[in-house]
């Protein structure tokens, strides 16, 4: 049951670490494995010191690529390092790990043995470890943790992604709600973003289009820089590529927020026209000005 709690793989923050990494200096008949930890099918493995594995001689007439694995034997209730011999050839075929129930394996790396020898040149080793994380970390300094770590900072109720020397703020928690961290920046008009050509000035947003066969989805989320005056109907917000324009105008449901005289919000309506424009049509509440809006629509076109 423990395999539900943790994926199988080598416990290491990145490939820059040497945990259970294979390497060779060209010695005859062996390949080296650094110490480290791993989880395999709910079982924990710990190699506390470096070790070597035997490499069989290759007399086939062609190079051979072997696979180094960590193997669980359920019948014997044991975990061991092992080498799977590959099929010689030009190029040699890489062997596949056992993914079955009785003796599942996780990949550590590949070692290519030239013809007529039993040694692996230093440049013929490929690191192919399946890496797994170390769960969520908790701390006040996200940069203290390895790259890729997900860190919760209690003092600010925020989530961070560690990049060693720097950390990226991902989201904040407020009264049980998680709010994604804003990434605001400004653009003049026109400019292209996510395949859409924006014809108004916006200071943030998530704008894209996506096509799956004849089904097209267009989404526009942005903050408008203009303030102090109402937004006229039929204001053109963006244009879309010709390849995904509808054959007739289609409505786009929207949501609008304003801070002109206290916060107000309500439904809004836009449309995607057959000539390829996204237009603001109307809002359920007449705003003196608006700052943020979101529109999306999905429609079918003929290929």
Q: What is the pLDDT of residues 29-78, one digit of tens each?
A: 999 999 999 999 989 999 999 999 999 999 999 999 999 999 999 999 99
Nearest to 132 by CA among 263, 302, 7: 7
Given this model, what pLDDT does residue 278 score?
A: 80
Residue 241 and residue 151 share a domain: no
Cα 12 from Cα 19, distance rounded (Å): 6
Nearest to 41 by CA among 129, 106, 130: 106
Residue 167 and residue 201 share a domain: no
Does 186 map to a domain? no
Cα 160 from Cα 133, distance rounded (Å): 15
Residue pair 78/134 in contact (Cβ under 8 Å)? The answer is no
Cα 89 from Cα 63, distance rounded (Å): 6
Cα 283 from Cα 303, distance rounded (Å): 33
Pairing assessment for the beta strands 131-132 and 125-127 based on DSSP bridges:
unpaired
CB-CB neighbours of 184 under 10 Å: 8
Asked whether residue 300 carries a pLDDT value surpassing 90, the answer given is no
Does 246 map to a domain? yes
Residue pair 82/109 in contact (Cβ under 8 Å)? The answer is no
Does 11 map to a domain? yes
Total count of domains within the chain: 3
Does 251 map to a domain? yes
Average pLDDT over residues 237-255: 79
C-alpha distances in angstroms, 223 versus 21, 178, 182, 208?
Answer: 49, 21, 12, 15
Residue 280 and residue 219 share a domain: yes
Residue 289 and residue 217 share a domain: yes
Residue 296 and residue 200 share a domain: yes
Cα 213 from Cα 39, distance rounded (Å): 41
Asked whether residue 89 carries a pLDDT value surpassing 80, the answer given is yes
Peptide bond into 141 cis (omega under 30): no
Given this model, what pLDDT does residue 94 score?
A: 96
Cα 268 from Cα 81, distance rounded (Å): 62
Given this model, what pLDDT does residue 214 score?
A: 79
Does 205 map to a domain? yes
Given this model, what pLDDT does residue 163 score?
A: 73
Residue 155 and residue 64 share a domain: no
pTM for this prediction: 0.52
Residue 110 and residue 28 share a domain: yes
pLDDT tens readout for residues 109-148? 999 999 999 999 999 999 999 888 666 777 788 887 767 7
Residue 25 and residue 7 share a domain: yes
Residue 124 and residue 170 share a domain: no
Residue pair 18/33 in contact (Cβ under 8 Å)? The answer is no
Range of the domain at 173: 137-180
Does 185 map to a domain? no
Residue 11 and residue 93 share a domain: yes
Given this model, what pLDDT does residue 58 score?
A: 98
User: Can you give the CATH number for the domain in which 99 is found?
Assistant: 2.60.520
User: Can you give the CATH number for the domain in which 254 is found?
Assistant: 2.60.40.1830
C-alpha distances in angstroms, 219 versus 85, 147, 174, 278, 281?
Answer: 52, 33, 27, 10, 16
Residue 267 and residue 158 share a domain: no
Residue 290 and residue 197 share a domain: yes
Given this model, what pLDDT does residue 121 score?
A: 97
């Amino acid at each position: 049951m423990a395999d539900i709690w943790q994926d199988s793989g080598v416990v290491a923050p990145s490939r820059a670490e040497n945990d259970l990494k294979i390497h060779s200096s060209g010695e005859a008949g062996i390949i080296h494995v650094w110490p480290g930890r791993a989880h395999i099918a709910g079982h924990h493995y710990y190699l506390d010191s470096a070790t070597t594995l035997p490499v069989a001689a290759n007399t086939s007439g062609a190079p051979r690529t072997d696979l180094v694995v960590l193997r669980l034997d359920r019948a014997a209730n044991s975990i061991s390092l092992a080498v799977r011999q590959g099929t010689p050839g030009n190029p040699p075929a890489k062997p596949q790990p056992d993914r079955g129930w009785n003796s599942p394996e996780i990949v550590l790396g590949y070692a290519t043995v030239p013809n007529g020898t039993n040694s692996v040149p230093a440049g013929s080793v490929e690191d192919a470890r399946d890496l797994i994380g170390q769960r969520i970390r908790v701390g006040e300094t996200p940069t203290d943790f390895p790259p890729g770590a997900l860190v919760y900072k209690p003092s600010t109720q925020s989530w961070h992604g560690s990049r060693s020397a720097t950390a990226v703020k991902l989201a904040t928690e407020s009264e049980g709600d998680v709010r994604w961290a804003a990434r605001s920046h400004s653009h003049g008009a026109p400019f292209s973003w996510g395949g859409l050509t924006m014809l108004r000035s916006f200071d943030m947003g998530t704008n894209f289009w996506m096509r799956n066969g004849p089904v097209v989805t267009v989404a526009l989320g942005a903050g408008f820089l203009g303030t102090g005056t109402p937004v006229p109907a039929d204001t053109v917000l963006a244009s879309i590529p010709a390849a995904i324009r509808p054959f007739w105008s289609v409505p786009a449901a929207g949501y609008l927020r304003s801070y002109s005289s206290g916060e107000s919000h309500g439904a809004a309506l836009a449309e995607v026209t057959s000539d390829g424009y996204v237009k603001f049509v109307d809002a359920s509440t007449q705003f003196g000005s608006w700052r943020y809006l979101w529109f999306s629509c999905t429609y079918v076109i003929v290929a």
